[in-house]
Amino acid sequence: MPGCSTGSWWSAAQELQHCTTADLDELLHWIALGATGSMAQQWELQQRDRFPADRDTRIGWLAKQVELLRRLNTEWAEQFRAHIPVQCPGVRLEDVDAHPLG
């Protein structure tokens, strides 16, 4: 389809989501979500030994992903942050916001 871009998310050779858009900003948003998510999860794995073993590891990578998205586009970061309670039940925004990233 001319003027349209497509994005797909894959896991273990299985397509999880397939999206199509004619909006370049929306495509960039999707790419940013995928890239920052991977980067944030890698960061959290490298930092894991700094925190108690019983803590919810999602808090660290979500905090890092918000930070990375904020560097690219503050609107994308705030949209992502606002959706955390829906996408990650049990994770409190207060904990994500307070998580040390240094």
Residues 17-74 have pLDDT tens digits of: 677 878 889 889 988 999 999 999 999 999 999 988 888 999 999 999 999 999 999 9
Please classify residue 80 by burial: count the beta carbons closer than 10 Å to its beta carbon, then call 0-12 exposed, 13-18 middle and 19+ buried.
buried
Return the pLDDT at 16.
Answer: 58
- What are the beta bridge partners of residue 19? 7
For the chain, the C-alpha Rg in angstroms (whole number) is 15
How far is Cα 90 from Cα 100, in angstroms, rounded to an integer? 19
Return the pLDDT at 52.
Answer: 86
Enumerate the domain spans of the chain. 25-98
* pLDDT > 70? residue 7: no
User: Do residues 98 and 91 touch, judged by C-beta distance below 8 A?
Assistant: no
* pLDDT > 50? residue 5: no
